[in-house]
Amino acid sequence: MDVGQMQKRLLDYMNSLLKEGILDSQFAQLQQLQDESNPDFVAEVVNLFFTDSENLINDLSNALGQQNVDFKKVDSCVHQLKGSSASIGAQRLKNTCISFRKFCDEQNLQACLMCLQEMQQEYLLLRSKLDVLLQVEKQIVAAGGSIPIMEF
Amino acid sequence: MMESCNCIEPQWPADELLMKYQYISDFFIALAYFSIPLELIYFVKKSAVFPYRWVLVQFGAFIVLCGATHLINLWTFSMHSRTVEVVMTSAKVLTAAVSCVTALMLVHIIPDLLSVKTRELFLKNKAAELDREMGLIRTQEETGRHVRMLTHEIRSTLDRHTILKTTLVELGRTLALEECALWMPTRTGLELQLSYTLHQQNPVGYTVPIHLPVINQVFSSNRAVKISPNSPVARIRPLAGKYMPGEVVAVRVPLLHLSNFQINDWPELSTKRYALMVLMLPSDSARQWHVHELELVEVVADQVAVALSHAAILEESMRARDLLMEQNVALDLARREAETAIRARNDFLAVMNHEMRTPMHAIIALSSLLQETELTPEQRLMVETIMKSSNLLATLINDVLDLSRLEDGSLQLDDETFNLHALFREVLNLIKPVASVKKLHLTLNLAPDLPEVAVGDEKRLMQIILNIVGNAVKFSKGGTISITSFVAKAEYLRDAKTPEFFPVPSDTHFYLRVQVKDSGSGISPQDLPKLFTKFAQNQARLAARSSSGSGLGLAICKRFVNLMDGYIWIESEGLGKGCTATFIVKLGIPEQLKESKFLVLPKVPGNHVHANLAGLKVLVMDDNSVSRAVTKGLLLHLGCDVTTVSSSSECLHAVSEEQKVVFMDICLPGMDGYEVAVQIRERFAKRHERPLIVALTGHVDKMTKENCMRVGMDGVILKPVSLDKMRTVLSDLLKHRVSFEAI
């Protein structure tokens, strides 16, 4: 596959992610920030995000698994995750966090647990998609092409 | 004695005396007989016309011969010769012959001569007859001339009085009348009043009831009717002891009024009013009314009627014209008064605008300053109430002034490029706090093809949306409020609700359609039309509302929408069933709008640096690693020198004079960004040494903004930050040392 085709494939992929709401314009912003002085910016941020999120989700599971659930803690975790998602442009995950926070306010344990499950699913989905994306980008770069930037 | 002379002896013995007489008579006879033909010839020669010349000759011959006979007879009285006897005999024979022929001839001629005479008589009679007829025609022509002249006189004036007077005068003159009078019906129509007479100057109000038989008789026919000189209408002058009053004739004069004439409808006879004209011949004159005179009178009566109706029409039109002039004057006055009133109102508004706002601002400003000082709780409560009330008052004043300017037509919409998506997001953010307090769920749905940027009056569009969404929130106690927004296509535009509204999108404009649906208290069908009326409050919603309003909101919205060439309407299924407010407005498309959404841009070469951002030292405080990394990347991309910290203590530690800008995340609980800001401010007393502090936050509302301002922050940015926004914010900061427009 030549560079042009790969670039097109990347664009299509991004479009689909956009349409599904998995990613939003913030991600494109991140891509814009990648340049010669900062060639791996996107990958770095994404990896950072993955690490952070996994920790947070683990913390959440723990917190919700307790006898007396500390909703304040849960809330702060979710808040963090929301912030991260927003920064990276993970729209669906961010929305899930927003709903999660609401249930936290109401101290609705059942709903929180359901949200947590949803959150995990979203996270896994996002992770797989982003992996693919990064792969393709690496391939393009290896083939000597430039990563096309999306304009939202 | 037998003599041999051939003499002839007369028969009878010669009696001398008798013979002498015979002799003389014969002589005279002969003379007469000879002279007659001479006379005949002489006179015939003189006259040109005589048809029977040869008869004359014959007759002449006869007479001459008779004369000759008698002449010759003269010689026979004495002894005469035979020759004489022969001549005598031949003369007698000839005479006899001619006489017989003449006698025979006369039988033929005399009847002819007689008939000539008859014809002459006949022609004479004819001539006499023609003379008579000529006399008649002349009289008629004379009459006609009089009528024409009279008509001309009558019609040459449009003054009623003159018409009637002239009629009487002319009639009197033409017909040589003794008296002429006109009786007009009174206003009540029950009597006839003597209005005009020929000889009496001022007839005193002499009236006669209208239903007299003689009057009815005259009114029922359009001919001139002879009436008795003793009837009440004819007895208008004192009887001057004459023997025989002259004959009197009366005729009706129709009085026509404009009201009698309908279009396509002729007046009925029963509604006509008549006047009565009475004409009297001179008394003791033995004159009689002739037919042609009666005809003259009838014709005149008709003409008078026509002239009177013309005069009536003229009066009407003069009156109408006067009325119009009066109305014109009145209207002019009213218009000038209205103009004065409008000017006065505008002056009042202009003054009030300034005069009312100044104290208002003073109150608001001072109250907010007061809020920042040390206050006891009661005092704080009081000050808050003052602020709330004065804000409300300020809004009210603005609304009223706006509305009056809108109605004036003096309001101009702004025309700038603005971010449409951002506008909606901001509305959402502004409403969210209130909505969440009321447990309302807000959803915003922007269509994918909605342009991000549009040209129009951003502030007023926001006002419209806020007003509508605010109403939805105000009147709902729970449930969902959904805001949908999309570009109105032509098919959607032909709505049953908006039959008179046909917007046409073009290359430079598009129509934005926004729909706000709530599940609140709804509106009853009879209240729907009044919604956009100024100051009219919906009763049900009045009961439901917890906050006060002036009732002007929707009215203003509608006017703004109209100014934007749009249309706004509200539907509701009824009380308790919620309601849907929809509006369509026209917005411009900015020229730089690109068609395709996804573009492959070449990678930005090198650092995309704003001139004065290069090497700018900034500090980023954020405990979320991902967002910290993103913000750092952003600032690095802009060419700044970035230091990052993840806690307030680290921040306070790291901050120094070198940092020009500090970005801190304030939306994390347990991390008091405000506290940090306050401390930084305290540390750097002098303004120019102090770094600029910008808050990064995930949601912005008035409260946050106010808090930031209160602690002395220089800017607030909404996360997530785009590259352009960051660039703009930094430029603003460095230029103005403040950036609160980023919200």
Listed residues B298, B319, B340: the one ending a domain = B319
For residues B271 and B212, membership in a common domain is answered with yes
Classify burial at B150, counting beta carbons within 10 Å of its beta carbon; exposed 0-12, middle 13-18, buried 19 or more. buried
Average pLDDT over residues B706-720: 78
Range with the poorest average pLDDT among A4-13, A20-29, B534-543: B534-543
> Considering only CB atoms, which chain B residues are within 8 Å of A87?
624, 626-627, 629-631, 719-720
What one-character DSSP code corresponds to residue B525? G
Average pLDDT over residues B730-743: 62
For residues B585 and B718, membership in a common domain is answered with no
Per-residue tokens: B403: 């509305």
Element (H, E) at B701: none
Element (H, E) at B381: helix B377-408
B312 vs B603, residue with greater confidence: B312
CB B648 within 8 A of CB B672: yes
Least Cα distance to B554 among B578, B579, B536 occurs for B536
CA-to-CA distance for A112 and B691, rounded, in angstroms? 42
Residues of B with CB under 8 A from a CB of A: 594, 597-608, 623-627, 629-631, 633-634, 636-637, 665, 667-670, 698, 719-720, 722-723
Determine the pLDDT at residue B10: 66
- What's the pLDDT band for B4 if we cut at 50, 70, 90? low
Tens-digit pLDDT profile for residues B168-210: 888 888 888 888 888 888 877 778 888 788 776 655 667 888 8
Residue B741 predicted with pLDDT over 50: no
For residues B688 and B556, membership in a common domain is answered with no
Number of separate domains in chain B: 3
Angle at A26 between CA A22 and CA A31, to 5 degrees: 105
Determine the pLDDT at residue B503: 61
Residue B132 predicted with pLDDT over 90: yes
Tens-digit pLDDT profile for residues B531-584: 777 655 555 454 444 344 556 678 888 888 888 888 888 888 888 888 889 998
Determine the pLDDT at residue B546: 38
Tens-digit pLDDT profile for residues B246-264: 788 888 888 776 555 544 5
Determine the pLDDT at residue B453: 86
Average pLDDT over residues B451-477: 86
In a domain, B263, yes or no: yes
Residue B134 predicted with pLDDT over 90: yes
In a domain, B361, yes or no: no
- What's the pLDDT band for B595 if we cut at 50, 70, 90? very low
Residue B323 predicted with pLDDT over 90: yes
CA-to-CA distance for B426 and B433, rounded, in angstroms? 12
Nearest 10 degrees: Cα torsion A108, A110, A112, A113 = 160
Residue B661 predicted with pLDDT over 90: no
B686 vs A107, residue with greater confidence: A107
| Structural domain span for residue B265 | 152-235+244-319
Range with the poorest average pLDDT among B228-242, B358-372, B422-436: B228-242
Q: CATH number for the domain including B437?
A: 3.30.565.10
Listed residues B303, B319, B335: the one ending a domain = B319
Give me chain B's average pLDDT, please: 78
For residues B580 and B663, membership in a common domain is answered with no
Per-residue tokens: B298: 């009838």
Determine the pLDDT at residue B326: 95
Asked if the C-beta of A84 comes within 8 angstroms of chain B's C-beta atoms, the answer is yes
Q: How far is A57 from chain B (nearest CA, A)?
A: 14
For residues B188 and B269, membership in a common domain is answered with yes
B59 vs B424, residue with greater confidence: B424
Residue B731 predicted with pLDDT over 70: yes
Average pLDDT over residues B663-690: 73
Q: CATH number for the domain including B632?
A: 3.40.50.2300
- What's the pLDDT band for B327 if we cut at 50, 70, 90? very high
Domains and CATH numbers, chain A: 3-142 (1.20.120.160)
- What's the pLDDT band for B498 if we cut at 50, 70, 90? low
What percent of chain B clears pLDDT 70, i.e. is strictly above it?
82
| Residue of chain A whose alpha carbon sits nearest to that of B633 | A33
Number of H helices, E strands in chain B: 17, 18
User: Binding residue per annotation — B368?
Assistant: no
Grouping H, G, I as helix, E, B as strand and the rest as coil, residue A104 is helix
DSSP string, B427-490: HHHHHHHHHHHTTEEEEEEE-TTS-SEEEE-HHHHHHHHHHHHHHHHHT-SSEEEEEEEEEPPH
Tens-digit pLDDT profile for residues B365-386: 888 888 888 889 888 888 888 8
For residues B581 and B627, membership in a common domain is answered with no
Is B669 in contact with A29 (Cβ distance < 8 A)? no
Cα-flanking dihedrals φ and ψ of residue B481, to 5°? -120, 120
Residue B601 predicted with pLDDT over 50: no
CA-to-CA distance for B460 and A98, rounded, in angstroms? 31
In a domain, B596, yes or no: no
Determine the pLDDT at residue B125: 95
- What's the pLDDT band for B15 if we cut at 50, 70, 90? confident
CA-to-CA distance for B721 and B715, rounded, in angstroms? 13
Grouping H, G, I as helix, E, B as strand and the rest as coil, residue B717 is strand
In a domain, B12, yes or no: no
In a domain, B434, yes or no: yes
- Tell me the β-bridge partners of B661: B618, B692
Average pLDDT over residues B621-646: 84
In a domain, B174, yes or no: yes
In a domain, B58, yes or no: no
Residue B124 predicted with pLDDT over 80: yes
For residues B555 and B656, membership in a common domain is answered with no
- What's the pLDDT band for B324 if we cut at 50, 70, 90? very high
For residues B450 and B557, membership in a common domain is answered with yes
In a domain, B67, yes or no: no
For residues B312 and B460, membership in a common domain is answered with no
DSSP string, A49-90: HHHHHHHHHHHHHHHHHSSS--HHHHHHHHHHHHHHHHHHTB
Grouping H, G, I as helix, E, B as strand and the rest as coil, residue A41 is helix
CB B420 within 8 A of CB B451: yes
For residues B220 and B312, membership in a common domain is answered with yes
Q: Is the torsion defined by CA of B485, B489, B490, B492 positive or negative?
A: negative
For residues B254 and B180, membership in a common domain is answered with yes
Grouping H, G, I as helix, E, B as strand and the rest as coil, residue B582 is strand
User: Binding residue per annotation — B421?
Assistant: no
> Residue B263 — left, alpha, or beta (φ > 0 → left; ψ -120 to 50 → alpha)?
beta
CA-to-CA distance for B620 and B622, rounded, in angstroms? 6
Range with the poorest average pLDDT among A66-75, A92-101, B148-157: B148-157
> Considering only CB atoms, which chain A residues are within 8 Å of B443?
none
CA-to-CA distance for B15 and B25, rounded, in angstroms? 15
CA-to-CA distance for B303 and B149, rounded, in angstroms? 12
Q: CATH number for the domain including B262?
A: 3.30.450.40
User: Binding residue per annotation — B473?
Assistant: yes
Listed residues B294, B319, B344: the one ending a domain = B319
For the whole model, what pTM was predicted? 0.36
CA-to-CA distance for B279 and A10, rounded, in angstroms? 122
Least Cα distance to B276 among B299, B251, B293, B256 occurs for B251
- Biggest CA–CA distance in chain B, Å, is 233
For residues B461 and B568, membership in a common domain is answered with yes
Average pLDDT over residues B591-617: 49
